Structure 1
């Protein structure tokens, strides 16, 4: 059994009140989705529809004191509500993409693989069968961007 965790909306919503200049000083860009299925929000775990406003920003998703410390660009939809998938639920945003899954224990990567999103549950179970794995990070394989964190339920 596992649980997928979205990023908390409260962490990002104040950024939407900043000017473009203030955002640029933080390496953040305001963008508008211009095609369906191309702007995956890490808070709602759903893709923005055409015309929706988002922020594209750097995010440290693995803040650990190991060589695997990592950050990358993410999208966050304006006014996004934090997704809270049920135990063993894989959101549609993940099911329809090619994913890279990285398994960590004590901040160190233990194993990784690439999987079609429809097969994510099976890979999660296989990785969590290992005693040296405590958390998983899912990335969108094509762009390599962080998508979400997975823990044992």
Structure 2
């Protein structure tokens, strides 16, 4: 099987937003959000759900910046106190193992080749299978319910 590595978004991309007031956030189409339930506010930096009462920024993010019809953007949450996820090879965030995830497989030109919904319990195996296909360059995971971008998955360089 092909090994994979999950790539979270870099915290530095979002650091300026945490110092903004509500009007400044609004000028970027963003807003501060406080979760009122334990699930449903997944951070794209820490790759885990925010706790009730924790401060988040909800903002639009261009997650697929390619020169193809499949370029895409959408809303993401970033935890103000979230630390960057450090996942081992072939490791998924716990929250993804318990959810349905939409998997989108792209070629080197950013064209989608395969798209499917996978149960979290089968997700790691399916990622390994998809990355064995030579025409697949990388994968994007999205939360199946809302369709929001979660993270990028690439072939691991480790053996």
Fold agreement, TM-score > 0.5: yes
Residue 159 (structure 2) pairs with residue 151 (structure 1): no
Paired with 2:81 and 2:10, the residues of 1 have a C-alpha distance of 12
Paired with 1:117 and 1:57, the residues of 2 have a C-alpha distance of 26
C-alpha RMSD over aligned residues: 0.7
Task: Spell out structure 1 runs of 4+ moving beyond 4 A.
Answer: none
Q: Which residue of 1 aligns with 2:12?
A: 10
Is the strand fraction higher in 1 or 2?
1
Structure 2 gap segments, 5+ residues each: none
Q: Which residue of 1 aligns with 2:144?
A: 141
Structure 1 gap segments, 5+ residues each: none
Aligned length: 153
User: In the alignment, is the contact (CA less than 8 A) between 1:7 and 1:43 conserved in 2?
Assistant: yes
User: In the alignment, is the contact (CA less than 8 A) between 1:31 and 1:54 conserved in 2?
Assistant: yes
Paired with 1:78 and 1:96, the residues of 2 have a C-alpha distance of 24
Paired with 1:121 and 1:4, the residues of 2 have a C-alpha distance of 10
**What are the superposed Cα offsets for residues 56-94 of structure 1, whole Å, 9 maximum, x if unpaired?**
100000000100000000000002111021000011121
Classify the secondary structure of the residue corresponding to 2:69.
coil
Cα deviation, residue 126, structure 1: 1.7
Paired with 2:116 and 2:38, the residues of 1 have a C-alpha distance of 27
Cα deviation, residue 20, structure 1: 0.3
